[in-house]
């Protein structure tokens, strides 16, 4: 049976993996792309669109949840406009 993580643990493990292993190489070569990280296997999938990255992760691990990030950004998407 696959390991099941709660949402907080998925975020924690995926962001830790990104910071420690992926940030420097992905931000140098794939800035603005999307990355779906499956934290248990420590695998990741890149795509120009959110759906590309998530489709690859779901195909590889249909019974697990992945964490989606936008390479080089604090959030995957921004809704609306904020002006201070």
What are the pLDDT digits (tens) for 26-77?
999 999 999 999 999 999 999 999 999 999 999 999 999 999 999 998 877 7
Amino acid 63: pLDDT? 93
Q: Are 66 and 37 in contact (CB under 8 A)?
A: yes
pTM: 0.85
pLDDT in tens, 2-34: 567 899 999 999 999 999 999 999 999 999 999
The stretches of 1-84 forming alpha helices (DSSP H) are 7-17, 23-29, 50-60
């Amino acid at each position: 049976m696959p390991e099941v993580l709660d949402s907080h643990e998925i975020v924690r493990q995926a962001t830790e993996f990104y910071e420690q292993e992926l940030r420097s190489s992905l931000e140098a070569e794939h800035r603005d792309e999307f990355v779906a990280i499956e934290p248990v296997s420590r695998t990741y999938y890149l795509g120009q669109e959110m759906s590309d990255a998530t489709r690859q992760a779901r195909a590889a691990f249909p019974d697990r949840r992945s964490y989606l990030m936008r390479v080089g950004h604090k959030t995957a998407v921004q809704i609306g406009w904020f002006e201070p």
